[in-house]
Amino acid sequence: MKVSRRTFLKLSGAAVGAAALAGLGLDAPVASAATPLRFRYARETTTICAYCGVGCGLVVHAEGGEVVNIEGDPDHPINKGALCSKGSAMYQVANNKLRLRKVKYRAPGSSRWEEKSWDWAITEIAARIKATREATFVDRDSAGRQVNRTEGIACLGGAALDNEECYLHSKLSRALGIVYLEHQARI
Amino acid sequence: MDRRYTEKASLAELTAAYSNTPRAVAAPLLRFTGELLQIQAGWTRLPAAEATLNDSLSSRLEAGEPLIALAEIAADGTLDLDQVRTALASVLSLISRWYKGGSNGDGFPDALTLPLEQISSGLQALFNRRTVPGWVRRVDPCLQELVVFSLGAALSPFVQALAAPAAEVLRERRYDKASCPACGQQPLMGMLHGEGGVRSVECWLCRTQWIIPRVACPFCCTTQQADLRYFYVPGREDARAYVCGNCKRYLKVTDARRLGFKPLLALEHVVTMPLDSMAAAEGYRPGCAPLFLASKF
């Protein structure tokens, strides 16, 4: 990046104006100090901590789409910038060489993990839900009342689910007839 | 303010501390600013109409009205123009010692011989950003901006004194408006401080500090995060410039959590001036209205 002395003088600081700097002979050192410096852009985005149901606010710093820092959001009414020890370590959720980036599958009875595609995993989950639901579906209870439920599947949500996600989680589960349902976002 | 920060004993010590760090890219400018602040500090200790803020603070803030009506204080007697004239003489004396364009400050007006009406018209021009009054225009064009700058510098301690009763309250308050809650002017510089990283800004004129939202433009108030970025120099992460793609203005912010002492934002503004030129090269203009740029009059 190169900044001409003229550009600097035209648009530099407000407290001491351009001509004032020049008149005092103080403009050249500042302009020359700026010229060799390179800078980086970053962006701050607010979000919610994914760990528990308290829902602390976070400010995520990203450069070129890569997370470079995460800190508490000082404007968030719940945590006002503070974070617990887990929240303070949120950065490593995004940047961690141990983080799984591909689907791993261990077949029943197997002792080893296999790498699978997302398409395979989603199709397999859907097929197994369908098969289990059909095998365990109860349309009437012992008293003859219609219940339309499956007792072969349980569904566990996550503490960080927001209202809308809990609604979808609940709606999908009830549509399938799942009664062992726990959204877990209740702290 | 976070008690972790070391309080420097005096302005001189603080200026020296800034001069002795790698951030001191403009040591002479730091010295000049330090001397100017010393002059201003002498005047802020004056009991200048300190009890003018009797109105309900909350109601005026909620109405978005600054607590001090700058356009009126020069005319209604709140401001002691005799004192301003004496302060202006001190500031002009300092500038004449530093001025490189002439010898012994040739061409500077003698503030002590200026009629009060001229002082008043100069201040009105500052407040309203009207054309430079005639007596300033008669000064050598090269010096005009310095004279206008001197007017602002001479006025600042008196507005600081007027704002002082409210400043202690405002320091802890969040205020989302784009101008100073005390005097209506723009913030010159900001800082991140406290363990939570609260973002505060400081008015160029009355030095009042107030808290602004962390992810929002302090000038156009947009909260569209796609428009909001900041840039910094790698290795010097203690300062950054927040830029707004919506209004194309920027705010320099120093991260006091990294400094280890309570920063004086007037000096932070000086040591971070390279960020100004970078922002200019990127097409952004300072959010603080360039009050002293002669081209704006």
Question: How distant is the Cα of A134 from the closest Cα of chain B, in angstroms?
Answer: 47
Mutate to test the interface with A, among B143, B236, B273 (most CBs of A within 10 A): B273
Question: What is the distance in angstroms between the Cα of A1 and the nearest Cα belonging to chain B?
Answer: 8
- Provide the CA B198 distance to its chain's centre, in angstroms: 20
- Band (pLDDT 50/70/90 cuts) for residue B59 is confident
Q: Cα(B1)–Cα(A171) distance, rounded to whole angstroms?
A: 49
Alpha-carbon span A15 to B206, nearest angstrom: 12
Residue B129 in this model has a pLDDT that exceeds 70: no
Q: What is the pLDDT of residue B190?
A: 95
Place of tokens 């100017």: B36
Is the Cβ–Cβ distance between A77 and A62 less than 8 Å? no
Which pTM value belongs to this model?
A: 0.79
Nearest Cβ partner for B215 among A2, A8, A44:
A44
Of B131 and B190, the one with more pLDDT: B190
pLDDT given at position A81 = 95
- Count of beta carbons in the 10 Å neighbourhood of residue B255: 17
Q: A with B: how many residue pairs have Cβ under 8 Å apart?
A: 177
Name the residue in chain B with its Cα closest to that of A38. B233
- All residues of chain B having their beta carbon less than 8 Å from the beta carbon of residue A31 are 277
- A chain contacts of residue B197, beta-carbon cutoff 8 Å: 59, 71-72, 74, 81
- Residues of chain B found within 8 Å of residue A1, distances taken between Cβ atoms: 278, 281
The pLDDT score that the predictor gives to residue B250 is 94
The DSSP string of B143-206 is HHHHHHHHHHHHHHHHHHHHHHHHHHHHTT-B--SSS-TTTS--EEEEEEETTTTEEEEEETTT
Q: Pick from A30, A61, A80, A88 the residue to mutate for testing the B interface (most B CBs within 10 Å).
A: A30
Q: B28, A26: Cβ pair inside 8 Å? A: yes
Residue B295 has pLDDT above 60, yes or no: no
B28 to chain A: closest CA residue: A26
Are A7 and B292 a contacting pair at CB < 8 A?
A: no
pLDDT in tens, B212-228: 999 999 999 999 999 99
ipTM score above 0.85:
no
**pLDDT of A58-105, one tens digit each?**
999 999 989 999 999 999 999 999 999 999 999 998 899 988 889 999
What backbone torsions phi and psi does residue B56 show, to the nearest 5 degrees?
Answer: -65, 120
DSSP character at residue B296: G
**Structure letter (DSSP) for residue B293:** -
Nearest CA in chain B to A41: B231
Cβ separation B231–A31 shorter than 8 A: no
Q: What is the pLDDT of residue B1?
A: 35
| Chain segment B139-174, per-residue pLDDT in tens | 777 677 777 788 888 888 888 888 888 888 888 888
How far B237 CA lies from chain A's nearest CA (Å)?
10
Q: Per-residue DSSP letters for B252-291?
A: EEEEHHHHSB---HHHHHHHTHHHHHHHHHTT-EESS--T
Find the length of chain A: 187
Residues 6+ apart with CB under 8 A from B135: B109, B114, B118, B121, B122
The pLDDT value recorded for residue B253 is: 96
Residues of chain A positioned with their CB less than 8 A from the CB of B26? 26, 29-30, 33
Contacts of B288 in chain A (CB under 8 A): 14-15
Q: Which residues of chain A have pLDDT under 50?
A: 1-16
* Tokens at B40, concatenated: 């201003």
The reported pLDDT for the residue numbered A1 is 36
Residue B49 has what pLDDT?
A: 45
Residues pairing with A60 in the sheet: A45, A70
Shortest Cα–Cα distance, B213 to chain A (Å): 6
**pLDDT value, residue B173:** 84
* pLDDT value of residue A53: 77
Torsion of Cα atoms, B199 then A86 then A93 then A185, to 10°: -100
Query: Mean per-residue pLDDT for B281-292?
Result: 74
Residues of B in contact with A58 (CB under 8 A): none
